[in-house]
Structure formats: C-alpha cells, structure tokens
Amino acid sequence: MDRRLNLTGWAFLAPAAVLIVLVNFVPMIQAFILSLQSGRGTNLNFADPLWYNYQRLFGDEIFKQTLVNTFIYLIIQVPIMLILAMILANLLNNPNLKAKAFWRTAIFLPAAVSLVSYSLVFRTIFATDGFMNDFLALFSVPPVNWLGEPETARFVLILGLLWRWTGYNMIFFLAGLQNVDRSTLEAARIDGANAFQTFWRVTVPQLKPIILLTAILSTNGTLQLFDESWNLTKGGPAYASMSMSHYLYEVSFQRNPNFGYGAALSYVILILVAILAFIQLRVGDKRD
Amino acid sequence: MTKTSTLRAAPGYAFLGIWTLFSLFPLYFMVVGSTNTSQDVLGSRLIPGGAFFENLAKLFKAQDVGSALFSSFFIAVGTTVLALIVCSIAGYGFEVYHSKGKDRVMAVILLAMMIPFAATMIPLFQVFAKLGLVNSLWAVIIPAISTPLLILLFRQSSRAFPSEILEAARMDGLNELSIFARIYVPTMRATFAAAGVITFMTAWNNFLWPRVILIKNEVQTMPMLISNLSAGYVTDYGVLMLAVLIASLPAMVVFLVLQRAFADGIVGAIK
C-alpha cells in the first residue's frame, strides 16, 4: 500500500490504541507491582516475602466466602440465562410470530435499566414486609426473610441477574439466528425431526460462535459483579452473598484502605477471567 | 391446518407471555411505586396513587437531584461523543488502510477486552489522584472513551464499505479525513446508533468507578444518589421508587428511540 495512506491509517488508529494502553495495560502492570507491596495509604513498600499479599488471601475466610459466592452465581446463573436467551431468541425468530416488535422490546427492556435501579427495586419487592411476601401470603405461605438468609439472598440476586441480562443476551442470539441457514431447518423437518430436535441438533450447533461470545462476556461480567452485591443484598447477611469485586472495593477504598492487598485480590479476578476464557475457547474449538 | 398450527404455537406464546410478565413487572412496580406513599409501596398497592408530587418534593428536599442529573448527563454525553469519534475513526482506519502491523495492534487491543476493570481500578485511582482529578467528571469519562468492543463494532461494519467509493472520492480530490467524515460517517448511521446506545447506557449506568473517584456529594451521579437513598436507616420507599424511575428514564428513552437502529447495528456487526 501507498506509504502515505499507510501512515494515515496509523494516525486514525493511534488515539484509540494509545488510550487503551494507558487505561488498561499500564494500570494492569502497576496493579501487579502494587500487589507485591504492603502498607497503608500512600506509604507502600515491597512486602517480605514478595508474595505476602497472595499468601494472606489464602487464609482470608471472607475472601474464600466471596470466591465461593461468585462461583455459585457463575455456575447456576450463566447456563440458565444462556439457555433461556436461546429459547426466547428462537421463539422470536419464528416468521409467523405475531406482535414480534412488542415481545422483543418487552424482553430487552430490563437491559436498559441501570444495575443500581433494578437492584433497589428488587430489594423493595423482596423486603420482609414487601410485595413478594404479601403475594405468597395469598397462598398461605409464611413470610420469608429473603435478604436475611444466605440461600434466599443468593437466590434473589440470581433472579435479579436473570431478569437483567437474559434479554440482553437474547439480542446476540437473535442476531446470530439471522445467519442460520433456513434450508437446514427445512431439511430437518422433512427428515421428521420435531421442533425440539431441530432446535437442539440443527440450530444450536450453528449458534456456537455466539454461545462462546455470550458465555465469555457473562463469565467476565459475573466475576466483576459489584452493583447488585452492593445495592441488592449489601453483601449480606454477613458476607453470605458478597461478590469478589464488592470485597475488593471494601479492602481498597473503605475503612483502612489497603491498596497492596486489594491489588492482589484484583489479580485473582484477572487470573480467573483469563483461565475461564481459555477453557471456554478450548471447549468451543473442540466441538468442531 | 390453521387450528393445529395455532395449537402448536401455544406453548411458545405462553412462554413469551410469562417471560414478558416477569420482565415488565418490576418496571411496573417502580412506576406505580413512584406515585404511592412508602406505606402503600410496602403494602403492595399495585395501582397508581396520589403521592407523586409529595414524593417529588421530598426527594428534591432530601437530595440535590439537579446536580446529580447534571453529572450523569455530562458524563454520558461526553463519553458518547468522544467514544464515537475515537473508536469509529480507529475501526475505519484499521479496515480501510489494512496492514500486517495493524493486525498486531488490533490483537493487542482485543486482548484488553479480557482485562477486568477490577484489575486496573486501584492504579487508575492513584494516577487520577496524582493528576488532581479526584471529584472531576473527566476522570469518569477518560477511561471509558476507547473500548475494544466499539472499535471491533466499527471495524466489522467498515468491511461493508465499498472501495470503489473510496477511489472515486480520492479522484475528486477529497483528502482522507474528509472521506471519513463526509462519506463514511453518513453511510454508517446504524452502526453509530448501536454504538451510541451501548456507550450512553453504559456510561449513564456506571456505578463502581464513579463511586471510587467521585467522593464529594456535590458531584455524585444519579446511580450514586439512589444508592445513598437506600443506605439510610429509614427508607421512604415511595421516594426511592421515584428516584429510581428518574435514574432509569434517560437510558431507557435513548434505547427505545434508537432500538431499531441498535438491532440493525448489532446484526451488521455479528455478520
């Protein structure tokens, strides 16, 4: 290519690339250095041993609890959400469906609501003297202390995540379905496959790239869960529903800020994101 | 024939109906709650009440809603405008002047997608503190301007941009920047709308980073304001639902107005 045009291309790309390096890669490296330091506030020195903060994490019961919580959300919520999103997208993709625009808007709308807003609405609905208990009372179910018990608090948080993100993921599947070859669906029908078989054996395999994309994005999002933990359950009762990022915030910016320890904790999140993405990419490749 | 096909479609409609009910109920609860007193919200009154203006007065008395709305709008609009400029020109530049070296840079940019914000938050705070930008709205905008997802979106849609137009424009003596601004931008409306909706909603709804960097109450954003409302010992649920509604409306309106273009833009990017 023309040298002048090549340089123009670089000039167009440069601002974005420089910004990404400055706000992502540089801080990422700084965080690693920080994770090897200890001390309070700005008075930081290299720790002895260097991996002291990481060592400390393994003995931190609260950290372990938040790690377990995050994995509970990940393992239960992400698969359910992606399956629901795929089913909804498949239903919406039916050419004979009536009022398509209405269904699509209604199902996507939660994704336009801020995480803090919906967390507070769910918190109100699931208050001890709130709507959900009044509703259950109609069926003579005794009131449940939704946000006061570990299991129910996690349940409400998972329900909230499903509410907020299923429609969002559905949009990706809906876009992916545009690329599914209609003739393959026809062929399956002629061969006598029922709707479920067609969906599972013909449609789903063709959606694989989208499944991979949404799985990685959702895993990434769940590992960084903060707003819901902070606003919906406040991490409670005690630390029973707190996410890792919520604990990271507490360690780094509340009471006695400890940047070194916080940075170590943030690196655990970074490493988990990397490992899980790697596994998902591997599994995604294998099925070919 | 029609009867059996209707019958076959019934479970599908039932499923869509149930999910739609589940989707819309919390939103309905929020809207109705904003017109009811705290007692009525907890008492599960599901019809509109007459306490809307009373809630509004209480909310404005308790919190500086005006300044929170200003902060949120400033951040959301500022981020959207800057992100659209920086990322569209990058995606276009990458695709139209494609070269091996740029492929490598793009690979690095995409790698940044895997870096969780959590892992950059503490050093970012330290840097912005050093620059004296704690409590500055720019500190919220700057890290959100250049995002791999947006660059990817613009790169993908630039593939559909015909090179004949490019050649013709060059023949006419247009320089490269004018080709981008005068020809590319107007033809990529759907992509800009999709990118704009995503960026505006993300910026408007952002909570963790503003919480870290905006410490003073005078500069707090709407999500921070409503979060603080529920943190007190006594929560007025009518006021809370109203505040939540106000905090949600702008992003929802942006989405509803641009949703057609948003869907087209996403489809264009995934193809």
- pLDDT tens string, chain B, 271 residues long: the values are 455 566 667 888 888 999 999 999 999 999 988 888 787 778 778 888 777 888 888 888 888 889 999 999 999 999 999 999 999 999 888 888 888 888 888 888 888 888 889 889 999 999 999 999 999 999 999 999 999 889 988 888 888 788 788 888 888 888 888 888 888 888 888 888 888 988 998 899 899 999 999 988 889 999 999 998 887 767 788 889 999 999 999 988 888 888 777 777 777 666 5
The pLDDT, as a whole number, for residue B7 is 62
Q: How far apart are CA A233 and CA A216, in angstroms?
A: 25
Look-up of token digits 């793009």: B106
Contact B26 A112 (CB under 8 A): no
The pLDDT, as a whole number, for residue B49 is 77
Rounded mean pLDDT of chain A? 87
pLDDT over 60 (residue A287)? no
The interface pTM score, or ipTM, of the predicted complex is 0.86
What is chain A's percent helix, strand, coil content, to nearest 5?
75, 0, 25
List all residues of chain B from 97 to 156 with a beta carbon under 8 Å from chain A: 97-99, 102, 105, 108-109, 112, 114-127, 142-143, 145-146, 148, 151
Give A176 to chain B, closest Cα distance, Å.
Answer: 7
Are A27 and B124 spatial neighbours (Cβ–Cβ below 8 Å)?
yes
Contact B122 A252 (CB under 8 A): yes
The pLDDT, as a whole number, for residue A245 is 92
DSSP state of A88: H
* Residue numbers in B near A109 (CB within 8 A): 23-24, 27, 252, 255
Query: Which chain B residue is nearest to residue A272, measuring alpha carbons?
Result: B116
Residue B67 sits at the chain A interface (C-beta within 8 Å): no
List all residues of chain A from 235 to 264 with a beta carbon under 8 Å from chain B: 244-245, 248-249, 252-253, 259, 262-263
* Residue numbers in B near A8 (CB within 8 A): 93, 97, 176
Contact A6 B119 (CB under 8 A): no
| Closest alpha carbon to B201 in B149, B242, B158, B159 | B149
The pLDDT, as a whole number, for residue B9 is 72
Give B248 to chain A, closest Cα distance, Å.
Answer: 6
- CATH numbers and ranges of domains, chain A: 60-286 (1.10.3720.10)
- What would the pLDDT profile of A27-72 be if each residue is shown by its tens digit? 999 999 988 888 776 677 777 787 888 988 888 899 999 999 999 9
Q: How far apart are CA A245 and CA A223, in angstroms?
A: 8
Contact B119 A28 (CB under 8 A): yes
List all residues of chain B from 26 to 45 with a beta carbon under 8 Å from chain A: 26-27, 29-30, 33, 41-44
The pLDDT, as a whole number, for residue B127 is 92
Is A256 strand, coil or helix?
A: coil
Domain spanning B63-270, CATH architecture: Orthogonal Bundle (1.10)
Q: How far apart are CA B124 and CA A36, in angstroms?
A: 17
| Closest alpha carbon to B159 in B71, B240, B234, B94 | B94
Query: Which chain A residue is nearest to residue B215, measuring alpha carbons?
Result: A253
* Residue numbers in A near B191 (CB within 8 A): none
Tokens of B168: 């013709």
Tokens of A22: 């400055």
* Residue numbers in B near A166 (CB within 8 A): 19
The pLDDT, as a whole number, for residue B270 is 64
* CA angle (B58 as vertex; B54, B60 as ends), nearest 5: 120
Residue A225 sits at the chain B interface (C-beta within 8 Å): no
Q: At what angle do helices B65-96 and B148-158 cross, to 10 degrees?
A: 40
| Closest alpha carbon to A137 in B43, B64, B180, B52 | B43
The pLDDT, as a whole number, for residue A286 is 63
**What percent of chain A clears pLDDT 70, i.e. is strictly above it?**
98
Domain parsing of chain B, residue ranges:
63-270
Look-up of token digits 């790690």: A67
The pLDDT, as a whole number, for residue B246 is 93
Contact B252 A113 (CB under 8 A): yes
The pLDDT, as a whole number, for residue A288 is 47
> Bigger pLDDT: A189 or A84?
A84
Look-up of token digits 């299991």: A151
Is B45 strand, coil or helix?
A: coil
Look-up of token digits 């790697």: A278
Q: At what angle do helices A100-108 and A61-92 cross, to 10 degrees?
A: 170
Average pLDDT, integer, range A168-188? 84
* CA angle (A206 as vertex; A201, A210 as ends), nearest 5: 125
Q: Which residues are within 8 A (CB) of A54 and not within 5 positions of it... i.e. 6 or more apart?
A: A35, A264, A267
pLDDT over 60 (residue A182)? yes
Q: Which residues are within 8 A (CB) of A101 and not within 5 positions of it... i.e. 6 or more apart?
A: none
If one counts every other C-beta atom within 10 angstroms of the C-beta of residue A253, the result is 18
Residue A194 sits at the chain B interface (C-beta within 8 Å): no
Average pLDDT, integer, range A154-180? 90
Q: How far apart are CA B246 and CA B233, in angstroms?
A: 22
The pLDDT, as a whole number, for residue A229 is 92
- What would the pLDDT profile of B181-210 be if each residue is shown by its tens digit? 888 888 888 888 888 988 998 899 899 999
Confidence of residue A5 (pLDDT cuts 50, 70, 90): confident
List all residues of chain B from 202 to 231 with a beta carbon under 8 Å from chain A: 204-205, 207-208, 211-212, 222-224, 226-227, 230
- What would the pLDDT profile of A217-256 be if each residue is shown by its tens digit? 899 889 989 999 999 888 878 899 999 999 999 988 887 7
Contact B118 A163 (CB under 8 A): no
Q: How far apart are CA B194 and CA B197, in angstroms?
A: 5
